[in-house]
Structure 1
């Protein structure tokens, strides 16, 4: 999995986990992507800053700081699809 894909998946499930704090599957999946970021890509200190149309993710690899952004509608799509599915509510 590429770093970009791991960040995208981590951020998508982080959104779900924050919106659904009782959802253990979301917490477990977030932990899984945390491990991928740390172990496979050596990412530390990931942070999220919500912009008007984007989520900006800041993170460190060794001593270098990086930022990348994702469109809000892409990240929010997973949470919205879960909320729209009656069997998950």
Structure 2
């Protein structure tokens, strides 16, 4: 993955799903994949997430420097919303 912003976006999207479905091994494994990408490829550390009525905010550090990105809620929650709206299409594969 070439873009740090894309990696954070993908990580956050699957984190929302994995947090809602902690027994879904596919979600948990995918979350770990993006955790590894952020850590190994981009040297990202200490991630925190905040959410308001419109945005998710991810604060993270690289080489001790704190940085922040934001994403609209509807972009991040889309996968989770699809799973909730069509559970028959998204079988939960327990750990």
The secondary structure found in structure 2 opposite 1:48 is strand
- In structure 2, the gaps of 5 or more residues are none
Structure with larger RCO (C-alpha < 8 A, sep 6+): 2
> Which blocks of at least 5 consecutive residues in structure 1 are unaligned?
none
Match of 1:84 in 2: 85
Q: Whole-Å Cα distance in 2 between the matches of residues 87 and 5 of structure 1?
A: 26
Helix, strand or coil: the match of 1:21?
A: coil
The count of residues paired between Structure 1 and Structure 2 equals 89
Shift of 1:68: 0.5
User: After TM superposition, which residue ranges in structure 1, 4 or more long, deviate above 4 angstroms?
Assistant: none
Which residue is equivalent to 1:49?
50
Task: Indicate yes or no: 2:76 matched with 1:75.
Answer: yes
Cα distance in 2, alignment partners of residues 27 and 50 from structure 1: 21
Matched residue, 2:29: 28
TM-superposed deviation, 1:52: 1.5
Give the drift of 1:81: 1.3
Identify, as 1 or 2, the structure richer in helix. Answer: 1
Provide the alpha-carbon RMSD of the alignment: 1.0
Q: Secondary structure at the match of 2:77?
A: helix
